[in-house]
Structure 1
Amino acid sequence: MATSLVSSSVVPAPAAKLLGAARARNGVSIRETLNDFRALFTAAEQALDVDALLSMAEGWAEVAETAPAISCTDVYTGLATQAHFQRRIHEVSTLGAQWPGSHALAIISLPHPRDSRSHCWTVLARLGDAVNGELQGTGATAMYQDSAIHILFSVSESNLSQLVDCKAALEALGEGQLCPAHMNFYPLSRAAAAAATTTTAARDSSC
């Protein structure tokens, strides 16, 4: 691809599609794949080949639909895979007494897309970035499934505040297409239930 770009300023569509497929097989997210492709043209001081970009995205999407997960990160969102999230739930439930603090599960339910069972990959990439950004520093593990963000977190006032901010950030994406979102808490212990009730009493109207 680099040779083609330097010699003719054009990337053949089949080569771009193969690159997208290879990236998906190796667990690279669509956002990182697109950013790297754009960086290639920037480094070569060439205008972005939109047709090649679309071919690469097509190759990525075809493989991502069927390729088995090879990491703990979902390639669409950059959040945890279902298997990794379930493993974390099991760890917290099994070793709860040894963990510092009490844990709970928050589920932010989003409006279902009108024309498909799941949101398109561009929306998934953006919501994944939003969730990762808003939950940075909380130690939380988040997963997207069935038009909802599932978040395992340690209960504290600051973490609960960031969860509320996360919900607001999701509602602000895509000109409100993820609005209204609804957030529910499911404590994993009595201690977590008491903490969540105390620290969210003033925020019930916004959740």
Structure 2
Amino acid sequence: MPLTPLQHDSSYGELDQVLHAYAGLGADDTPERPSEALAAYLRHTWHTRPHALAAAEAQLRSYARTPPGPLRLRLGEFYPVPDVGLDEDAVRDWLLLLADHLRRSIEAGEVPPPCAPRTHWEWHARFPELGQLLGGWFSQDMPDESEDHDAALQDYLDTTDRSLVTRLAGELHELLALGLDEGEYTVGLTELGLEVDPPDSFSHGAWLVALAHAVLAAGGTGRQE
């Protein structure tokens, strides 16, 4: 019988978060140093949901100690570990290594200093609503769906719940507060789903400032339930 959402989240939910942090990255952790993916997970989770670290450590260790057989995976009764480029026999040791890194970080109180996101997963974990805006309204389909950038933004404002518009305003100002250079803004917006150039005469950084002003000026607008 396939896992129910409750069974998945209670047994594998935080393990799933850890492994999603490896999307597009190598599982190149060593006993001395966590990988870039695990470092991103640690950095974001310490500053947003520190209580989740212990759950992740326990779920990683439990899965490594009791791996599922092929039949249970085929029936959907067990969480399937995504392909991270390791042989099946090496996955168990790798999961235990991740658990060791998490335990060491928790017990030593090693909180990574805040900084700009460094991985695709971290960009979306930190700026989820901005990713929703850029990936949904400023993808390569934008020229066919909207007259221009302003029209695309207005459509987002008209169809999105007011609380999410408020969240977007906070994320835009948080991103600007990082004080990134133009190249870093370009990388960040691309990671978050932007597939079109900013309006004419705008750099990526300047357009981000204009977006922040426009969303803040919208204030209480946005769809109400």
Q: TM-score, normalised by structure 2?
A: 0.28
Q: Which is richer in helix?
A: 2
